[in-house]
Amino acid sequence: MAANPGGGSTDAGGGPVRHIPVLLAEVLSALQPASGKIILDGTFGAGGYTSAILDAGADVIALDRDPTAIAAGQDMVAAYGGRLKLTHSQFSSLADHAPESGLDGVVLDIGVSSMQIDEAERGFSFQKSGPLDMRMSASGVSAADVVNRAKVAELIRIFHFLGEEDQAPRIAHAIEKSRTEKPFETTRDLAGLIEVVTPRKMKDKIHPATRVFQALRIFVNDELGELGQALFAAERVLKPGGRLVVVTFHSLEDRIVKKFFSDRAGKASGSRHLPIAHERAATFEPIGKSMIAAGKAEAEANPRARSAKLRAGMRTNAPAEAADMSIFGLPSLASLGKLGG
């Protein structure tokens, strides 16, 4: 969940794709930016959403965990004369950057940036030979650390859950055998092994390494945990009437957003066989359709948009609820801290 300039890539190892903000008109319609409003863009990237929000009259607080995105965005900061504040931060910490008076809107675009994919040295794409890295923040545990240090059972769980890879056991055991002879260092080291272990069939639409690379990227950057914490943070800092807009590109991420809005819609607690314990007040009300996908024209013009899903909600007056990650039903995976070099 990472920094994304208003457009994510659904192929973790895909090649370069020109940046085009995804669902931009729909995002603006849901956010309703205007003069006097303060919107937080938690995934600045190349500034696709941010620039459109600024042009609509609102001021923007933008965050990105990627230091290269922060550096590249300084010209935009200067161009908007104080109306844009750009900060190096993970979006799970967005509450730390909100004004005491609260925010009028929060937008999150959950996907990997085309800028990151295009840079071979970042190690996101198996179509380019580079270090097996995948760290959006350029610090911490790398994909190589995970592949070379995680136990086979941990690799299987990572590949199966985060990549939905049916051949996870076969790939994990092959990795264990190969790394005893030579540690994995580059994207081609890993992609090459996967190509041998699970060769591509004629009917396959994606490269055999796609799901494993996706799983490693999500795991290394704790993307699902980041997303869950960002949703809770937005709930705490949005004003009544404030709007939360989230664009996802993967079923796991969309499921988290869907569960969050469903949980915050207000419902009775307790068993259906027993009297209702108490009513929960809704903290968010739906905005428009429960889910918006890209239209045919946008999907044809921009490959990123094909899997994009937008969900949005408006903050009510009800107090924020506890930040309980258990509502998402995420599995327990290996500890990143124990896999570091």
pLDDT in tens, 123-176: 445 566 789 988 887 778 899 999 999 999 999 999 999 999 999 999 999 999
9/134 Cα distance (integer angstroms): 14
Residue 207: count other Cβ atoms within 10 Å of its Cβ.
Answer: 19
| Tokens found for residue 315 | 């903050």
Q: Which domains does the chain have, with CATH numbers?
A: 24-114+224-265+280-327 (3.40.50.150), 120-221 (1.10.150.170)
**Is the Cβ–Cβ distance between 94 and 234 less than 8 Å?**
yes
Binding-site sequence positions: 47-49, 64, 91, 109, 116
Q: Quick one: what percent of the chain has pLDDT higher than 70? A: 84
Strands 238-248 and 103-110: parallel
pLDDT digits (tens, 9 = 90+) for 245-299: 999 998 999 999 999 999 999 875 555 555 555 678 999 999 999 999 999 999 8
Q: Is the pLDDT of residue 120 over 70?
A: no
Binding-site sequence positions for S-adenosyl-L-methionine: 47-49, 64, 91, 109, 116
pLDDT at position 335 is 79
